[in-house]
Structure 1
């Protein structure tokens, strides 16, 4: 298997890095629980970065690479659904896209606002509708995403998408979750490693203590694993691969987020350090799609039947 990026993928990521450079620095003062940038979102859309999966020569792997890279930014960007699920529906679907499991619409939904497209995935059907002003309410949550609640039952307004299968949506949803988690883990790990390298305690940097180094090394191994499982699943679009990637992403987030905050000491309990801009998004992803248990069952069902 050739794991090297193609010249097109390298060029796309270079362009992403250049475009996102003004947004790469985390704020030095308290930033709240979520940061968004309409300007960045607009530039990504105008540049066609969220449309790469419409091109069969670039496909889902290129989309997953973009999702992973954008997740490293301190800003929350609706990229996963737009880049991976929207190609199933058509390029005329309005953004942001909000993915909802049938019967789970009462829970806070990421990026939900007026004008968003809600994709409802059931056991046998997929349906969608565009949210109007009176159908959604913004919610103030601890998660690192803008969240909203639907004020209606989607079944009363959603129209069926007869050419889209629930399995195809779920596969791409899980791939997007894993790719986004990989980027968030990489950024959170990098932020933590920088802090413990600079922070002096007991006359030496915290990063020189063996216990911390071992835990950070484990986090790096997990982060790498999430990345490669996400890329494999994007390449195969296999239900089993996608479920395993999402499972490992959610389990790795659960296993590492607590350590990251503990290593920052008191700073990890405040909003003065930007670590929460990545870890609190991971907390939201941990419970997505039914959480780890649902991913494990989906993986077992796909692999063993």
Structure 2
């Protein structure tokens, strides 16, 4: 299996690097709980980076690669939902949308607000446009995304001609690809800090116990990335469920270690680690969490 990027993927990532460089270099001193940038979202849309999955020469693998790279930015973007899920529902990628599994209410949903499209996944896939009376704003939520809470679910919804199994496969790929980028960015941030921070006359990163745990975090991060890429290539429900499960399980273990290595920073706002780890915490609870994805993988593999 050839794991190297093809010429088109290299060119896309080079263009993406040029576009996002000014946003990656933004000042991160006390940015608050979440960071978004409408100009970044517009540039990604206008540049066609969110449409690569619809190109038969690029496909879902390239979309997953783009999502992973964008997730490394400190800004939370709608790239995962817009590039991987919107095409199968034929949704307008310029309109924010969010996903709720089942008829769950009183649960924080990323990118939910008045006017957003809410996709409801049960035995079927349906959607509706949220009104102000159906949404409770959560301006002080600690999730790293702009979130809202759905307080009312209308029964009159538009039905989509997409099976729930197909939808869940795409949702899991999107979650795994975004988680891989978040883990990579958080780990890079911690490695840079522990290489500079000295204790007992040595950099923290030089202590063997810490190096072992950083290495394990790197192995897990790489695993999440490659499982996401495999699921994007095969579109197999079992591959997607395994990728989502490993992403959520890795987030649970790695995020704990990363905050511990920072001595608690990242739980507070003087360091930007929270911009990645708090997003991971919300992603780790989607679709019922890692337990549900583990069960989905087992059922897909063994029936």
Instruction: Give me the TM-score of the superposition, normalised by structure 2.
Output: 0.96
- Determine the structure 2 residue equivalent to 1:36: 36
Partners of 1:94 and 1:115 within 8 A in 2: no
| Deviation digits for residues 265-288 of structure 1 (CA, Å, limit 9, x no counterpart) | 143442100001000111111111
1:205 and 1:147 map into 2 onto residues whose CA distance is 38
Asked whether the equivalents of residues 173 and 243 of structure 2 are also in contact (C-alpha less than 8 Å), the reply is yes
Correspondence for 1:252: 250
State the distance in 2 between where 1:122 and 1:17 align. 38
Q: 1:26 Cα deviation (Å)?
A: 5.4
- Any idea what the Cα deviations from partners look like across 1:83-142, whole Å, max 9, x if unmatched? 11111122546522211111223311001112221111112x110122233332221211
Alignment partner, residue 9 of structure 1: 9
Cα distance in 1, alignment partners of residues 50 and 185 from structure 2: 21
Identify the residue that residue 126 of structure 1 maps to in structure 2. Answer: 125
| Closer/same/farther in 2, CA of residues 184 and 191 from structure 1, 3 Å limit | same
Change (3 A) 1:222 1:9: same
In 2, the alpha carbon distance for the partners of 1:191 and 1:82 equals 27
CA contact (8 A) 1:262 1:268 kept: no
Tell me the residue number matched to 2:134.
135
Listed one character per residue, the Cα deviations across residues 2-34 of structure 1 (whole Å, up to 9, x for unaligned) are: 211111111111111111111103534211111
Q: Corresponding residue for 1:48?
A: 48
Pairwise CA RMSD: 1.3
In structure 2, how many angstroms separate the alpha carbons of the residues matched to 1:28 and 1:63?
Answer: 27
Relative to 1, partners in 2 of residues 1:26 and 1:248: Cα closer, same or farther, differing over 3 Å? Answer: farther
Does the 8 Å CA contact 2:86/2:92 hold for their aligned counterparts?
A: no
Cross-structure match for 2:104:
104
Aligned to 2:190: 192
Q: Which blocks of at least 5 consecutive residues in structure 1 are unaligned?
A: none
What CA distance in whole angstroms lies between the structure 2 residues aligned with 1:273 and 1:90? 39
CA distance in 2, matches of 1:294, 1:27: 38
Name the SS of the counterpart of 1:273 in structure 2. coil
Aligned equivalent of 2:294 = 296
Q: Equivalents in 1 of 2:268, 2:257: separation in Å?
A: 15
Go from structure 1 to structure 2 and tell me whether the alpha carbon gap of 1:273 and 1:145 turns closer, same or farther (over 3 Å shift).
same
Cα 1:171–1:199 change in 2 (3 A) is same
Range moving further from structure 2, 14-23 or 134-143 = 134-143
- 1:263 alignment partner in structure 2: 261
Query: What's 2:230 paired with?
Result: 232
Counterparts of 2:15 and 2:294, CA distance in 1 = 36
1:166-204 Cα offsets, whole Å, 9 max, x none, are: 111100000000000000000000000000000011011
CA distance in 1, matches of 2:51, 2:91: 8
**Are the structure 2 counterparts of residues 190 and 93 from structure 1 closer, same or farther at C-alpha, using a change threshold of 3 Å?**
closer
2:281 aligned residue (259, 280, 283): 283
In the aligned structure 2, how far is the partner of 1:83 from the partner of 1:268?
29
Match of 1:170 among 168, 171, 195: 168
In the other structure, the counterpart of 2:272 is 274
Residues 82 and 93 in structure 2, CA contact (< 8 A), matched pair in contact too = no
- Distance, in Å, in 1 between the alignment partners of 2:169 and 2:195 is 39
TM-score by length of 1: 0.96
Partner Cα distance (1:171, 1:41) in 2: 25
In the alignment, the residues of structure 1 paired with residue 100 and residue 52 of structure 2 have an alpha-carbon distance, to the nearest angstrom, of 23
CA offsets 1:199-228 (integer angstroms, 9 cap, x no match): 011011101100000000000000000000
